[in-house]
Amino acid sequence: MVMAIFILVVLAGLAAAVTSLTTLTQLGKALDEQGARAYQAARAATEWAALRILQMPAPWPCGVAPGIDTDLTIDGWAVTVNCTELAAGSSTEVGLGALYRITATACAPAAAGPACPGVVSGGGQYIERSLRTLLERPAS
């Protein structure tokens, strides 16, 4: 009788451990998927800023003013884009175009608010991905 109770307790403990492990695995997969979505939102924002730089007229194609962040929402993700002109055209080397650094940060949609990085309240999961790109705008 004691042996049967011991075996039942051991089996119940194993079942609880397997359930806990499965739950943690599912949570890890969900967070990994959200991280991939945040990366894609940051990448889309980087490409958006690169398109603005390459197609808009000089002198400042990045945004409102140098170094000012632009807040976007891409597929439900809050995205902050910062574009900075590092060197004006031909100031470093003859024939060199203007150099720009684009930094796009995508973060957890609801908890972050309109800009990244955000603050999570209530113990929620915070997801953030950031990409930095260097772009040359060809000399005209």
Sort residue 7 into left (φ over 0), alpha (ψ -120 to 50) or beta.
alpha
CB 75 within 8 A of CB 82: no
Q: Model confidence over 65-106: pLDDT tens digits?
A: 555 667 777 877 888 888 888 777 655 566 677 788 899 988
* Tens of pLDDT, residue by residue, the chain (140 residues): 778 888 888 878 888 877 777 777 777 787 788 888 889 999 998 998 888 888 876 655 565 455 566 777 787 788 888 888 877 765 556 667 778 889 998 887 545 456 777 666 656 677 888 999 998 877 76
Residues belonging to the chain: 140
**Range of 108's domain?**
2-137
pLDDT at 114: 63
Beta strand ranges found along the chain (DSSP E): 69-74, 77-87, 98-107, 128-137
Say how many domains are in the chain: 1
Mean pLDDT of the chain: 76
